[in-house]
Amino acid sequence: MPPRPPENSSAGPVAPEPARRSTLSRRGFLTAGGVAAGVGVSVAALDLPFFSVAGAAQDPMACRAADVSASDARMVISNWTGYIDPRNKPGSTLADFTSSTGIEVEYNVDVNDNAEFYAKVKNQLGSCDPIDRDLIVLTDWMAARMIGLGWVQPLERSAVPNLHRNLIPDLQGKAWDPDETFHAPWQSGLTGIAYNAAEVDEVGSFTELLTREDLKGRITLLTEMYDTMGFMLKVVGADPGDFTSTQWEDAMDRLRQVIADGQLRSFAGNNYLQDLSAGNILACEAWSGDVLQAQLENPDIRFVAPEEGLSLWSDNMLVPNQATHQDNAERWIDYYYDPEVAARLAAWVNYICPVQGAQEAMEQVDPSLVDNPLIFPDAELLRTTWDFKALDDREQSQYEREWADVTTG
């Protein structure tokens, strides 16, 4: 789900735009001259603090800290909840990492939402200040935005050989970082449809989800624009990977129509599977890993690859600017791209494993999962997946604002 930074399709660091007329550097208190100039001059001339905010783009080359990994065997990670095997147990992947490398890991589960995390770090990264993290995990489109803003450090190719050797081909070559210079997928997932088999017949396509009378008012869609709008574009016959603005408007109108018809109960970011399990909704747009976990409690919950196809996405490890333990972070990335480690992790988190060779290694870890298509999708399934077209900054702003307007009525 890659929005592309403007003027820079090769996703390299983006130089900040030239400073505007009134920038941070010119913030200041009212001066005597300002008062004198005030007569007959617009108030803008007063140049008060907070007036105008410069762009937040940075140059990662100019915005890096000295690496202290060699002398300080530590690193700090921010990840989503439930995204790693129990880490305080001996024999966990994290414990093994620490015992084999000697690196102490401070593992935070403080990512709940891409936009929220972005809002949290925006002020620091936007002004080249450290956020005290060596590795953060964000979804494709947010990773693309941060890379585009120049907030992410490039990984040293030679330090992460496993990444370049073992990343599955379907996740390679993203428009926003074609050769994995800045990101390494942590786990991947599919976006499709889930339904409650105890209540309704199978919901085989997105079009069905949006039109079937028996589902009226009993479905939810995801709050992630790239997921949901990808499907909407498919529904109106467009290709999410390459669409025109007219097609985008068609897809938006279709969505507005769905809302106006009362087909949709709400947009959901989390808890949607609880609603599905509790019978409040009958079907929904869903993430594969969530469905696998929900099935453990309620076998009636089913995941469907809709006729329109599936969206394949990843949550990606990124080294933010001013990280002081990049070497250690790179060792972590390389460690988790070891197929055996990846298999152990995948056996626990039930998301799609981005590491080639992990399926074979899974024979030793948990043979029952080897053929699970939601962990190791076969080529046929992966062929139906699609990717969202890269958006430039203006498109991104425009689409996200339209999206926000639709979802908040």
Partner 1 sequence: MSVEAPAPPRTPGGGRADRPARRSRRPRGSVTGYLLLAPAGIFLLAFFVVPFYSLVATSLFDPSGSDFRGYEMTYAWGNYVDVVRDYWGPLLRAMAYGAAATAACLVLGYVLAYAIAFKAGRWKNLMLVLVIAPFFTSFLIRTLSWKLILADDGFVVNTLQVLQLLGDDGRLLATPFAVIAGLTYNFLPFMVLPLYASLDKLDPRLVEASSDLYANPVAGFFKVTWPLSLPGVVSGTLLTFIPATGDYINAELLGSTNNRVIGNVIQSQFTDANNYPVAAALSVLLSVLIVVMVLVYVRRAGTEELL
- Contact residues toward partner 1 (CB under 8 A) are 5-6, 14, 17, 20, 22, 42-44, 48, 50-57, 113, 115-116, 118-119, 122, 126, 148-149, 217, 223, 225, 259, 262, 264-267, 271, 275, 278-280, 393-394, 396-397, 400-401, 403-405, 407-409
Amino acid of residue 271 = N
Task: Kindly tell me which of 43 and 66 has the beta carbon lying closer to partner 1.
Answer: 43
| Residue 271 Cβ vs partner 1, minimum distance, rounded to whole Å | 8
CA atoms within 13 A on the CB side of 176: 31
The set of residues, in sequence order, having a beta carbon less than 8 Å from that of 385 and lying 6+ positions away, is: 170, 190, 309, 310, 311, 312
- Least distance to partner 1, CB of residue 249, Å: 17
Residue 280 or 293 with smaller CB distance to partner 1:
280
The Cα–Cα gap between 396 and 380 comes to 31
In the complex, minimum distance from the CB of residue 264 to partner 1, in angstroms, rounded to a whole number: 5
Residue 25's H or E segment, with its range, is: none
Residue 269 near residue 228 (C-beta atoms within 8 A):
no
- Closest distance of CB 5 from partner 1, Å: 7
Which residue, among 227, 192, 188, 193, has the nearest Cα to 352 in the 3D structure?
188
Residue pair 87/95 in contact (Cβ under 8 Å)? The answer is: yes
For residue 297, the minimal CB distance to partner 1 (Å) is 16
Q: How far is the CB of 213 from partner 1 (least distance, A)?
A: 11
Smallest gap from Cβ 27 to partner 1, in A, equals 12
Nearer to partner 1 among residue 318 and residue 361 (C-beta): 318
Half-sphere exposure of 301 (CA within 13 A, CB side): 27
Does residue 93 contact residue 358 with C-beta atoms inside 8 Å?
no
Q: How many angstroms separate the CA atoms of 52 and 205, rounded? A: 47
Q: Where are the alpha helices (DSSP H) in 221-301?
A: 225-235, 245-261, 272-278, 288-297
Structure token digits, residue 16: 């900040």
Q: Name the nearest CA neighbour of 368 among 355, 359, 379, 378.
A: 359
Q: How far is the CB of 57 from partner 1 (least distance, A)?
A: 6
Q: What are phi and psi of 305, to 5 degrees?
A: -85, 110
**Nearer to partner 1 by C-beta: 64 or 216?**
216
* Complex with partner 1: residue 172 or 280, whichever CB lies closer: 280
CB-wise, 109 or 381, nearer to partner 1? 109
| Smaller CB separation from partner 1, 10 or 99 | 10
For partner 1, the closer of residues 19 and 35 by Cβ is 19
Q: Which is nearer to partner 1, 42 or 71 (CB)?
A: 42
Nearest to 74 by CA among 134, 125, 131: 134
Nearer to partner 1, 263 or 350 (CB): 263
CB 407 within 8 A of CB 267: yes
d(CA 289, CA 188): 9
Give CA–CA dist 10/90, Å, rounded: 42
Beta carbon of residue 407, minimum distance to partner 1 (angstroms, whole number): 6
Q: What is the CA radius of gyration of the chain?
A: 23
CB 354 within 8 A of CB 96: no
Q: Which is nearer to partner 1, 27 or 165 (CB)?
A: 27
Instruction: State the maximum Cα–Cα separation within the chain, in Å, rounded to a whole number.
Output: 80
